[in-house]
Amino acid sequence: MKLTVIMPVFNEYQTIEEIVSRVIAVGLADEIIIVDDGSTDGTRELLRELDQKYPEVKLILHDRNQGKGAAVRSGIAEASSEYLIIQDADLEYDPRDYHAILKPMQEGLAEVVYGSRFLGAPRRTTMFWHMIANKMLTLMTNILYNSILSDMETGYKLFKREIITSIPLRAKRFNFEPEITAKLLKRKIRIYEVPITFNPREYSEGKKIGLKDAFEAVWTLLKYRFVD
């Protein structure tokens, strides 16, 4: 299975080298497309070094910060493998879970696989209200789209390339997660969930998603229920 890892990055100097080395160590990525979304903390300079160090790495540079969704869309446009997975750069998600995420795809059970933080795998016990917000957005998704997802907002999403490139995407920020989920479910595309480990970082450690993004997710879910 040919696998492209799409990694959106914005001001992740402290973690970017470690997450790239973890992805490389798993040994499943044929290419790692890193999209630097206008970093200003030295991340961009470090990425140029990693681009030279690892042949798997392909670097895309945005001239200004546009948001996670815009970075993911840039990565999708450049991906060449049969399968695409999104990997955040903040060490919250463990690339060793790639094996479990790929398994339903390899067995022909799914066209899209979500790594769920709420299916019983090990996780750090923090960020209670963030978890509540995630569960409420997932419940809203299930009501609107008649699904039984446990984690709509997960950052680990694996797609067949032909699926993700066939769907028009407009999200620029964190509303990528509800937009792609809504459009997959409206198209009756099979989503399979597997448990993943999760090590959430606190806002004091650089977490970026906030309350504004939760309201934007609600609007996105409502909007795409009725339009495409």
Domains of the chain: 3-226 (3.90.550.10)
Question: Inter-axis angle of helices 128-145 and 211-226, to 10 degrees?
Answer: 10
Distance from C-alpha of 217 to C-alpha of 213, rounded to nearest angstrom: 6
Report pLDDT for 54. 95
Cβ 21 vs Cβ 89: under 8 Å: no
Report pLDDT for 4. 98
pTM of this prediction?
Answer: 0.91
Distance from C-alpha of 86 to C-alpha of 157, rounded to nearest angstrom: 6
208 residue type, one letter: K
Report pLDDT for 207. 63
Q: Which helix (H) or strand (E) holds 114?
A: strand 112-116
Q: How far is CA 185 from the centre of its chain?
A: 17
Strands of the sheet containing 112-116, edge to edge, are 57-61, 31-36, 3-9, 83-86, 157-160, 112-116, 191-195
Neighbours of 30 (CB within 10 A): 15
- Collect the ranges in the chain with pLDDT lower than 70: 125-127, 201-211
Report pLDDT for 197. 94
Neighbours of 108 (CB within 10 A): 7
Report pLDDT for 131. 83
Give the pairing of strands 157-160 and 191-195: unpaired
Distance from C-alpha of 81 to C-alpha of 105, rounded to nearest angstrom: 14
Neighbours of 44 (CB within 10 A): 19
Cβ 98 vs Cβ 18: under 8 Å: no
CA distances to 19, 79, 157 from 75, rounded to whole Å, are 17, 6, 14
DSSP 155: S
150 residue type, one letter: S
Q: What are phi and psi of 180, to 5 degrees?
A: -65, -35
Distance from C-alpha of 88 to C-alpha of 97, rounded to nearest angstrom: 13
Q: What are phi and psi of 106, to 5 degrees?
A: -65, -35
What is the per-residue pLDDT across 186-227, written as a single tens digit (0 to 9) for each?
A: 999 989 999 999 987 666 566 666 667 788 999 999 999 988
